[in-house]
Chains A and B, each alone.
Chain A
Amino acid sequence: MRMAHPEADLLPELQEIDLYDPERYRTSSQHPAWARLREQAPMWAQHTPDGDRFWSATRHRDVAAILMDDKRFSSEYGTILAVAKGDIAGGRTINLMDQPHHARVRLPVMRTMSTRVSRERKERVREHVRRAVGDAFSSGEVVDVAAFAIHLPLAAIGDVIGIPRELWPQVPRLAMAGVAPGDPTYSAGGESHTLNNAHLELFSMFSELIQERRRNRRDDVISALLDIDFGGRPLSDHELLLNCYSFAMGAITTTPQVASHLILELCRQPHIWRRLRADPGLVPSAVEEALRWASPTNHLMRRVLAPVRVAGVQLEPGELVCTWVASANRDSAVFDDPDTFDPGRTPNPHLAFGVGAHRCIGGPPAQVVLAVLLEEMLDAVQEMSLAGEVTHMRSNFINGITRLPVLFRPRPGGGAAVGAASMASSR
Chain B
Amino acid sequence: MRITPRPPETVAPADIDLFDPERFRSGDQHGAWRTLRETAPVWWHERAGQSGFWCVTRYAECERVLKDYRNFSSEHGTILASVGAPDPAGGATISLMDPPRHTALRTQAMRSFSHTVVRNRTPRVTARVAALVDRLGEGEQDLAELARSLPMAVTGELMGIEEQYWDRLAHWSAVGLTPEDPAFAVGASTAATLSTSHHEIFACFMEIIAHKRANPGDDLISALIALAPGGRPMDDGTLLLNCYSFMAGANSTTPHVINHTVLALAERPDLWRSVAADETLVPALVEEGARWTSTPYHLVRRAVNDVVLAGVPIAAGDWVCAWLPSANRDESVFADPYEFSLRTLPSPHLGFGAGPHYCIGAPLSRMALGVFFRELVRRFDGVDITAPPQHLYSNWINGFSSVPVRARRRPAVASSMPAAREGACAHGTS
Q: Which residues of A contact B (CB under 8 A)?
A: 9-10, 12-16, 18, 21, 23, 27, 40-41, 44-47, 49, 51-53, 312
Q: Which of B61, B64, B111 has the most CB of A within 10 A?
A: B64
Q: Given A21-B67, A21-B68, is A10 in contact with B355 using a C-beta cutoff of 8 Å?
A: no
**Residues of A with C-beta under 8 A to B107:** 10
Q: Which of B354-394 contact A (CB under 8 A)?
A: 354-356, 358, 362-363
Interface membership of B33, Cβ < 8 A: no
**Residues of A with C-beta under 8 A to B363:** 13
Q: How far is the CA of A49 from the CA of B310 in the complex (A)?
A: 9
Does the CB pair A51–B60 fall under 8 Å? yes
Q: Given A21-B68, A47-B59, A51-B60, is A16 in contact with B358 using a C-beta cutoff of 8 Å?
A: yes
**Residues of A with C-beta under 8 A to B344:** 312
Q: Given A15-B353, A40-B346, A46-B63, is A9 in contact with B68 using a C-beta cutoff of 8 Å?
A: no
Report B71 CB to chain A, min CB distance, Å.
9
Report A267 CB to chain B, min CB distance, Å.
25
Does the CB pair A10–B350 fall under 8 Å? no
Report B42 CB to chain A, min CB distance, Å.
10
Interface membership of B110, Cβ < 8 A: yes
**Residues of A with C-beta under 8 A to B58:** 51
Task: Give the size category of B's interface with A.
Answer: 20 to 34
Q: How far is the CA of A113 from the CA of B278 in the complex (A)?
A: 59
* In the complex, residue of chain B having the shortest beta-carbon distance to the beta carbon of A52: B60
Interface membership of B116, Cβ < 8 A: yes
Does the CB pair B64–A16 fall under 8 Å? no
Q: Which residues of B contact A (CB under 8 A)?
A: 58-61, 63-64, 67-68, 70, 100, 107, 110-111, 114-116, 310, 332-333, 344, 346, 348, 350, 352-356, 358, 362-363
Q: Given A18-B355, A47-B63, A51-B60, is A9 in contact with B116 using a C-beta cutoff of 8 Å?
A: yes
* In the complex, residue of chain B having the shortest beta-carbon distance to the beta carbon of A45: B348
Does the CB pair B356–A16 fall under 8 Å? yes
Q: Given A13-B362, A18-B355, is A47 in contact with B346 using a C-beta cutoff of 8 Å?
A: no
Partner of A15, one of B64, B116, B310, B352: B352
Does the CB pair B352–A49 fall under 8 Å? no
Q: How far is the CA of A407 from the CA of B2 in the complex (A)?
A: 67
Q: Which of A40, A41, A51 has the most CB of B within 10 A?
A: A51
Q: Given A14-B346, A16-B354, is A9 in contact with B115 using a C-beta cutoff of 8 Å?
A: yes
Does the CB pair B310–A51 fall under 8 Å? yes
Would you mind naming 22 contact pairs between A and B with Cβ atoms under 8 Å apart? A9-B114, A9-B116, A10-B107, A10-B110, A12-B358, A13-B352, A13-B358, A14-B346, A14-B348, A15-B354, A15-B358, A16-B356, A21-B67, A23-B70, A27-B100, A44-B346, A46-B63, A47-B59, A51-B58, A51-B61, A51-B64, A53-B332
**Residues of A with C-beta under 8 A to B355:** 15-16, 18
Q: How far is the CA of A47 from the CA of B66 in the complex (A)?
A: 12
Report B111 CB to chain A, min CB distance, Å.
7
Report B385 CB to chain A, min CB distance, Å.
32
Q: Given A15-B354, A41-B346, A49-B64, is A10 in contact with B70 using a C-beta cutoff of 8 Å?
A: no
Q: How far is the CA of A46 from the CA of B63 in the complex (A)?
A: 8
Q: How far is the CA of A49 from the CA of B63 in the complex (A)?
A: 9
Report B279 CB to chain A, min CB distance, Å.
20
**Residues of A with C-beta under 8 A to B352:** 13, 15
Report A388 CB to chain B, min CB distance, Å.
21
Q: Given A10-B107, A21-B68, is A53 in contact with B115 using a C-beta cutoff of 8 Å?
A: no
**Residues of A with C-beta under 8 A to B60:** 47, 51-53
Q: How far is the CA of A49 from the CA of B354 in the complex (A)?
A: 14
Q: How far is the CA of A23 from the CA of B64 in the complex (A)?
A: 15
Report A58 CB to chain B, min CB distance, Å.
13
**Residues of B with C-beta under 8 A to A46:** 63
* In the complex, residue of chain B having the shortest beta-carbon distance to the beta carbon of A15: B354
Does the CB pair A10–B111 fall under 8 Å? yes
Does the CB pair A49–B68 fall under 8 Å? yes
* In the complex, residue of chain B having the shortest beta-carbon distance to the beta carbon of A11: B115
**Residues of A with C-beta under 8 A to B332:** 53
**Residues of B with C-beta under 8 A to A49:** 64, 68
**Residues of A with C-beta under 8 A to B362:** 13
Q: How far is the CA of A12 from the CA of B110 in the complex (A)?
A: 10
Q: How far is the CA of A23 from the CA of B332 in the complex (A)?
A: 28
Report B109 CB to chain A, min CB distance, Å.
11
**Residues of A with C-beta under 8 A to B64:** 47, 49, 51
**Residues of A with C-beta under 8 A to B353:** 15
Q: Given A16-B354, A16-B358, A40-B346, is A10 in contact with B63 using a C-beta cutoff of 8 Å?
A: no
**Residues of B with C-beta under 8 A to A12:** 358
Q: How far is the CA of A316 from the CA of B107 in the complex (A)?
A: 38
Q: How far is the CA of A51 from the CA of B68 in the complex (A)?
A: 12
Report A16 CB to chain B, min CB distance, Å.
4
* In the complex, residue of chain B having the shortest beta-carbon distance to the beta carbon of A23: B70
* In the complex, residue of chain B having the shortest beta-carbon distance to the beta carbon of A14: B346
Q: How far is the CA of A45 from the CA of B334 in the complex (A)?
A: 12
Q: Which 4 A-B pairs have the closest CB atoms?
A: A47-B60, A15-B354, A51-B60, A16-B358
Does the CB pair A10–B114 fall under 8 Å? yes
Report A226 CB to chain B, min CB distance, Å.
43
* In the complex, residue of chain A having the shortest beta-carbon distance to the beta carbon of B41: A51
Given contacts A9-B115, A46-B63, A312-B344, 9 further A-B contacts (CB under 8 A): A9-B114, A13-B352, A15-B348, A15-B358, A16-B356, A21-B68, A51-B61, A53-B60, A53-B332
Report A308 CB to chain B, min CB distance, Å.
17
Q: How far is the CA of A152 from the CA of B212 in the complex (A)?
A: 59
**Residues of B with C-beta under 8 A to A9:** 111, 114-116
Report B203 CB to chain A, min CB distance, Å.
34
Q: How far is the CA of A312 from the CA of B343 in the complex (A)?
A: 13
Q: How far is the CA of A45 from the CA of B362 in the complex (A)?
A: 20
Q: How far is the CA of A41 from the CA of B348 in the complex (A)?
A: 10
Q: How far is the CA of A46 from the CA of B354 in the complex (A)?
A: 11
* In the complex, residue of chain A having the shortest beta-carbon distance to the beta carbon of B100: A27
Report B210 CB to chain A, min CB distance, Å.
30
* In the complex, residue of chain A having the shortest beta-carbon distance to the beta carbon of B346: A41
Q: How far is the CA of A44 from the CA of B347 in the complex (A)?
A: 10
**Residues of A with C-beta under 8 A to B67:** 18, 21
Q: How far is the CA of A27 from the CA of B69 in the complex (A)?
A: 14
* In the complex, residue of chain B having the shortest beta-carbon distance to the beta carbon of A37: B346
Report B319 CB to chain A, min CB distance, Å.
19
**Residues of A with C-beta under 8 A to B354:** 15-16
Report B58 CB to chain A, min CB distance, Å.
8
Q: How far is the CA of A36 from the CA of B116 in the complex (A)?
A: 15
* In the complex, residue of chain A having the shortest beta-carbon distance to the beta carbon of B310: A51
Report B36 CB to chain A, min CB distance, Å.
15
**Residues of B with C-beta under 8 A to A52:** 60
Q: How far is the CA of A46 from the CA of B67 in the complex (A)?
A: 11
Report A318 CB to chain B, min CB distance, Å.
12
**Residues of A with C-beta under 8 A to B110:** 10
**Residues of B with C-beta under 8 A to A40:** 346
Q: How far is the CA of A9 from the CA of B348 in the complex (A)?
A: 22
Q: How far is the CA of A312 from the CA of B345 in the complex (A)?
A: 10
**Residues of A with C-beta under 8 A to B358:** 12-13, 15-16
**Residues of A with C-beta under 8 A to B115:** 9
Report B310 CB to chain A, min CB distance, Å.
6
Q: How far is the CA of A23 from the CA of B67 in the complex (A)?
A: 12
Q: How far is the CA of A224 from the CA of B100 in the complex (A)?
A: 51
Does the CB pair B114–A15 fall under 8 Å? no
